Amino acid sequence: MISTEVSGIPEVVINDLSGVLIAPGSSTELADALETLHRDPALRVRLGKKGREIVLDEFEISRSVDLLLGIILRDDARAVSEYAAKKENSALS
């Protein structure tokens, strides 16, 4: 895979490990990366396998759901505690 270091892409495409990162807008770097991958089938396979491994390990759906649910529940518990504290303070006033 060839990409640029924008947004969340470097989380998956790690230069020379799971792909090739180039500077945004650099047609020279893009051409060089394409030529390198075209000439080296073993490199293409190695980068592709590692990219797949990263996606399966880091972005597996149940793991993502568990992380998101933890955030929601933590924030929900905090909101309930803040509400209860405000209610208690207003009752004391």
Number of independent structural domains in the chain: 2
* Cβ-proximal residues to 33 (8 Å cutoff; 6+ apart), any chain: 2, 20, 22
pLDDT at 23 > cutoff 90: yes
Which range marks the domain in which residue 91 is found?
60-93
CB 80 within 8 A of CB 88: no
Q: In this structure, are 54 and 65 located in the same domain?
A: no
Q: What is the pTM of this model?
A: 0.64
Residues 36, 19 share a domain: yes
Residues 30 and 17 in one domain: yes
* Mean pLDDT in residue range 47-76: 86
87 in the same domain as 45:
no
* β-sheet bridge partners, residue 22: 4
Instruction: Give the DSSP H or E segment for 21.
Output: strand 20-22
Q: What pLDDT was estimated at residue 93?
A: 64
Question: Residues 49-72: what's their mean pLDDT?
Answer: 86
* Residue 16 confidence class, pLDDT cut points 50, 70, 90: very high
For residues 71 and 88, membership in a common domain is answered with: yes
Q: How confident is the model at residue 80 (pLDDT cuts 50, 70, 90)?
A: low
